[in-house]
Amino acid sequence: MALTEASIKALKPRDTRYSVTDERGLIVEVFPTGGKLWHYRYRLNGKQHKVNLGRYPDMSLELARTQRDSAAMQVSLGKSPAEEKKKSRAALSEATTVRDFSDRYLRDIVARDRKDITLPKRYVEKSILPAIGNKAVSEVTVEDVRAIIWEKKDHGRDVAAGAVRGVLKRMFDYAMTCGIVSANAVLALPMRHVHRAQSRDRALSPDEIRRFLQAAIESNIRRQFKLALHLLLLTMVRKSELFHAEWKDVDFVHAEWHIPVENSKTRKPHIVFLSTQAVAAFRELYRLASGSPLVLPGSGSISKPFADNAINSALKVALQGQDIPAFTIHDLRRTASTRLHEAGWSSDVVEKALNHTIGGVRGVYNRAEYAEQRREMLQAWADYIEQAISSEYLCNVRLSCP
């Protein structure tokens, strides 16, 4: 039976990987991690062969079928798609420019591992290409990459310098894989000399929670951002998970939000059990979405979400002039974890609600979902937040006052 987008999305991971057939040699392989990979199987010279086409959902069913048809045409001409793919990779030469190679790096490596490539693409386009874009990859020197990285450090932007170094390092790792260079020039600049990330332990106090939420609602940031900040605290999700959420995954009847594999950092589906307060916020966002399939459609198009860093900027604006020590969006997750552990909730339940992967042997054997406990805990957490803030704020968020 031919596959459909709905049937592919419905394929669930098992303990071992398995394959499901579409038509004419096209198959999708499902891994225990939840990842899905397209293959094309064909016979050539009496032997069975297989070639990888790409990952789902980066490669849609329609595109996979197009790639299959192209590969089938090669087979009909007596060519092996797998061998042709190898030749294509080998076609890169020492004369390949950084500009051309960066396109390939972003497409083949970055887009494969993350749904939103906005940030690494920005570093490539704004910092790397203006400096060495027209230079051959094989001719890039330690001095070249040092100049790019230190341009950030000299302006006091050590975090950005570290991020640019990371992009450069991974790009030239891939260049080594492709055989363009034999050594990675970026390795001469250890990350510890560029930027050393500090471990964070910032968790808001109950009074800071109240002042933060009041400051957000009284600020002039978009209404969607006010509700998003509140939801990030209520649901304990990552900002990327909220900013890529779609209405088809929000179940108002059962008060559940299903985060699909492609939006989950752990690459596993995750269910967020919605408190009554979270449902109210989602309902208002639904009205504000104006028919968009996205929970948070961007200002320029209802078919594209806001950039992840838009909420960072909104937070900065909301906290201007407030006597609250600086914190990040991610610190809201730490705040929830800290307060819930202090309240005596089980660590396994809290970690599951945070969509964390439990490490070690316990993580292997503990497959419990703790659904009822998580539902109870998230409602208790929402009630706790409600008690920490004023009734005036609640009138604004919940759209009704007593």
**Rounded distance, CA 98 to CA 123, Å?**
13
Say if residues 186 and 165 touch (Cβ distance below 8 Å). Answer: yes
370 CB-side CA count, 13 A: 19
- Cβ neighbourhood burial of 392 (10 Å; 0-12, 13-18, 19+): exposed
**What string of DSSP letters covers 202-246?**
----HHHHHHHHHHHHHSSS-HHHHHHHHHHHHH---HHHHHT-B
**Rounded distance, CA 274 to CA 243, Å?**
17
Q: Which residue has the higher pLDDT, 188 or 93?
A: 188
Neighbours of 179 (CB within 10 A): 12
Contacts for 172 with CB less than 8 Å, ≥ 6 apart: 137, 140, 181, 184, 185, 186
> 181-218 b/e with 16+ CB inside 10 Å = b?
beebbbeebeeeebbeeeeeeebbeeebbbbbbbbbbe
**Rounded distance, CA 305 to CA 295, Å?**
8
Instruction: State yes or no: pLDDT of 399 exceeds 70.
Output: no
Instruction: State yes or no: pLDDT of 160 exceeds 80.
Output: yes
250-251, strands of its sheet edge to edge: 250-251, 256-259, 270-273
Percent of the chain clearing pLDDT 70 (strictly above): 90
pTM listed for this prediction: 0.57
Instruction: State yes or no: pLDDT of 147 exceeds 50.
Output: yes
Say if residues 264 and 288 touch (Cβ distance below 8 Å). Answer: no
Cα angle, residue 264 at apex, residues 15 and 23 outer, rounded to 5°: 60
Beta bridge partners of 273: 256
User: What stretch of H or E contains 267?
Assistant: none
Instruction: State yes or no: pLDDT of 370 exceeds 60.
Output: yes
Contacts for 266 with CB less than 8 Å, ≥ 6 apart: 355, 356, 357
Give the model's pLDDT for residue 324.
86
Q: 98-194: CATH homologous superfamily?
A: Tyrosine recombinase, N-terminal domain (1.10.150.130)
**Rounded distance, CA 43 to CA 95, Å?**
36
Beta bridge partners of 97: 136
Q: Which residue has the higher pLDDT, 381 or 261?
A: 381
Give the model's pLDDT for residue 365.
45
Beta bridge partners of 305: 297
Decide which of 1.10.10.10, 3.30.160.390, 3.40.50.300, 1.10.3720.10 is the CATH code for 5-90.
3.30.160.390
**Rounded distance, CA 226 to CA 399, Å?**
13
> Which tokens belong to 330?
């991610």
Q: What is the mean pLDDT of the chain?
A: 86
Q: Give the domain ranges of the chain.
A: 5-90, 98-194, 206-398
Beta bridge partners of 52: 39
> Model confidence over 70-97: pLDDT tens digits?
889 989 889 888 887 776 665 666 678 9
**Rounded distance, CA 333 to CA 235, Å?**
9
Instruction: State yes or no: pLDDT of 257 exceeds 90.
Output: yes
**What string of DSSP letters covers 370-395?**
-HHHHHHHHHHHHHHHHHHS-HHHHH
Residue type, 320: Q
The CATH code of the domain at 206-398 is 1.10.443.10
> 309-340 b/e with 16+ CB inside 10 Å = b?
ebbeebbeebbeeeebeebebebbbbbbbbbb
> Model confidence over 288-315: pLDDT tens digits?
998 999 999 988 778 888 876 788 889 9
Instruction: State yes or no: pLDDT of 196 exceeds 80.
Output: no
